[in-house]
Structure 1
Amino acid sequence: MVCALGAAVCFGTATVLQAVAARAASTGGGGDAALLLRALRQWRYLAGLGLDGLGFVFQIAALRSLPIYAVGAALASSLAVTAVVAARLLGVRLRGTEWAAVGVVCAGLAMLGLASGAEGHRDGSMALKWAMLGTAVAVLLLGLVGGRLPERGRALTLGLGAGFGFGVVEVAVRLIDSLSLSTLVGNPATYALLVGGGAAFLLLTTALQRGSVTTATAGLVIGETLGPAAVGVVWLGDRTRSGLEWLAVLGFLVAVAGALALARFGEVAPGGEAVEGAGELG
């Protein structure tokens, strides 16, 4: 759980840095690929990528010892980290209800920590590995056409797509049971992890610039928590401590609800100040 929370700290801080960089990169023309290339020239975006990389290492360590549902909820709590970082670094004022939402996230994670059992020991089938790769490819295709989607519902679609991509990464980590080169090359989960992660970053960058970031972030939280948690329980054997199933379900729902309440803290303006409302990005 310490590793899962460490990943949340890294991802939450990276969100603030990447949102500022994505807005600064939006001043030029071109499509989604051009936007990503301009963002990569921003030091804040590169610093965010560095934190994302460190967070990914923590995430892998957590997924090797915790159920996916616990790790997913912890990662969703990165929005609480984003809120606190925005308050400290950008001078954003948190209202009482928002501090309460941060507390709700922490309470949900505490319940999950008490109720979580060990990770499931059921091996993923080859069909599940191919399904993850197929999902990753679908997310990538969505990312390639994301900027041309109808404006209505675009932010939610891109956010959900990014969430599914990160969810594929969570599941794929569990489906890679050997790090030997020959095994990695022949495992569809390896390619699912790479394609899903890359596609998720593309969709998230597009969502930060081309729609309501609040809506996109809410979609991201839903996509990266509910689906992977279900896969972990149904196909990989994730369980809770005996008799504490109710506490795990309650903690999961509480943590995700608190994260959704803080979704507006993906909203950062070009000048580096957080936007107080959930307006549309221009």
Structure 2
Amino acid sequence: MIAAYGVANLLQSVAAARTDLHQGFNPRLLLKLGQHRAYVIGVGCQFAAFALAFLARRDLPLFLVQSAVAAGLGITAVLGVAVLKWRLPAAELVLLVVLGVGLGGLIVAAEPMPSRQLPAAGVVLLVVALFAIGATGFFAVRLHGAPGSVVLGALAGLAFGAAAVASRPLASVHSLDRFASDPLLYLVVLHSVVGQLLLGLAMQRGSTTAAVAAMDAAAAVPAAIVGLVFLGDSIHPGREWIAAVGFLATLLAVIGLSFYAEPQHHHEVADVPSGRVSAPPAAARS
């Protein structure tokens, strides 16, 4: 899952940099991104990663799985250095190490256990969250540069986090009929589509690392809290401090990466007869 998410982040970043900048919250962006082979392959990797994460959530607590998703950022950075010739600052390298150490602590502390079922009120709240995230994203697209990347990336993270919350109890459903008729399935799909659109918009506005780091932080914290409070996620007795330190280290690492990240690509807004906004080729990270 970690490797697949890392590859997906990189490929979708390349496609977003080569696509005309969208100033509005328009689903047509996904259609334009879909014209790029890199984006299609990246989405394929993301679906594979999501399937693996879905299976992991059947028994593992959300604070571990969502933090493991964040570790895909490290794979993205390593691939960026190897393939796109990015140059990572020393501070970012340290943060990647902290990210790995924090994830290791969570693995040691997590206690595997099936999820509790989400009550009807929880399903309603997930529906409300879907509309709230979409409405906020509609106005957030006016932001550009690093602020746009971070805000839109964070909104994408909230959508993906909500999908993770819905998928944790859904993964425990063993009957195909119950699975297909469960409203959580459709909430997973809808939150994932909204998150995908917001992530594409975030990657167009500045640093991919900043967008993904903001996304991972926003996807991890609320989902971890919901899992511990409502879904029965548990920690091995006596290892609570390891879980706390590991989660804090992971969170600080992904937030820190959003501050140290240099923009890898940007779009210049130009007046053109057709009214479209042109994007220059993706530049190597400096």
* 1:119-158 map, 5 Å: 119=113, 121-147=115-141, 149=142, 153-158=147-152
Deviations 1:187-244 (A, max 9, x none): 3312210110000001111111135655533431221000000000000111111100
In the TM superposition, residue 184 of structure 1 has moved relative to its aligned partner by 3.5
* Residues 61 and 227, structure 2, Cα contact 8 Å, conserved in 1: yes
Pairing of 1:176-255 with structure 2 (within 5 A): 176=170, 177-178=172-173, 180-210=175-205, 213=208, 215-255=210-250
Partner of residue 108 from structure 2, selected from 94, 110, 114 = 114
Measure, in 2, the Cα distance between the counterparts of 1:54 and 1:92: 26
* Correspondent of 1:260 among 252, 255, 262: 255
Partner of 2:64: 70
Q: Distance in 2 between matches of 1:220 and 1:29?
A: 20
User: In structure 1, what is the Cα distance between the partners aligned to 2:131 and 2:23?
Assistant: 27
Check whether the contact 1:12–1:80 (CA below 8 A) recurs between aligned residues.
Answer: yes
Using the TM superposition, give the Cα deviation of residue 150 of structure 1 relative to its aligned residue in structure 2, in angstroms.
5.1
**Normalised TM-score (structure 1):** 0.85
Deviation string, structure 1 residues 69-127 (Cα, Å, up to 9, x no partner): 00111111111111111111111122332222221111111111111111354322111
RMSD: 2.5
Q: Counterpart amino acid of 1:48? A: G
What is the number of residues matched between the two proteins? 269
CA distance change for structure 1 residues 99 and 151 in 2, over 3 Å: closer, same or farther? closer
Q: Comparing 38-47 with 99-108, which one deviates more in the overlay?
A: 99-108
Q: Which residue of 1 aligns with 2:272?
A: none
How much does 1:130 deviate?
A: 2.0
| 1:166-200 residue CA offsets vs partner (Å, 9 max, x unmatched) | 00111111132425454245433122101100000
When residues 32 and 209 of structure 1 are mapped into structure 2, their CA distance, relative to the original with a 3 A threshold, is farther
Equivalent residues of 1:82, 1:266 under 8 A apart: no
Conserved? CA contact 1:213–1:267, under 8 Å = yes
In the aligned structure 2, how far is the partner of 1:37 from the partner of 1:46?
10
5+ long unaligned stretches in structure 2: 266-279
2:11 equivalent in structure 1: 17
Please give the per-residue CA displacement for 1:232-263, whole angstroms capped at 9, x wherever unaligned: 00001111111000001101111222223333
Match of 2:84 among 87, 90, 96: 90
Gaps of 5+ in 1: 1-6, 277-282
Percent identity between the two aligned chains: 30
The match for 1:41 is 35
The reply to whether residue 165 of structure 1 matches residue 175 of structure 2 is no
Instruction: Report if aligned partners of 1:20, 1:271 keep a CA contact under 8 Å in 2.
Output: no
Bigger Cα displacement from structure 2, 133-142 vs 239-248? 133-142
Structure 1 window deviating more from structure 2 (49-58 vs 86-95): it is: 86-95
- Distance in 2 of aligned mates of 1:41 and 1:51: 16
- In structure 1, the residue matched to 2:285 is 275
Q: Which residue of 2 aligns with 1:55?
A: 49
Is 1:68–1:119's contact at 8 Å kept on the other side of the alignment?
Answer: no
Specify the code of the residue in structure 2 equivalent to 1:233: L
SS of corresponding position for 1:262: helix
Task: Say whether the 8 Å CA contact 2:85–2:285 is kept in structure 1.
Answer: no
Cα separation, 1, equivalents of 2:190 and 2:89: 39
For the residues of structure 2 that align with 1:170 and 1:236, how far apart are their CA atoms?
12
Q: CA deviation at 1:146?
A: 4.4
Greater shift, 10-19 or 132-141, is seen at 132-141
In structure 1, how many angstroms separate the alpha carbons of the residues matched to 2:186 and 2:236? 33
Residue aligning to 1:4: none
Residues of 2 paired with 1:199 and 1:18: CA distance?
A: 15
Of residues 94, 99, 106, the one that matches 2:93 is 99
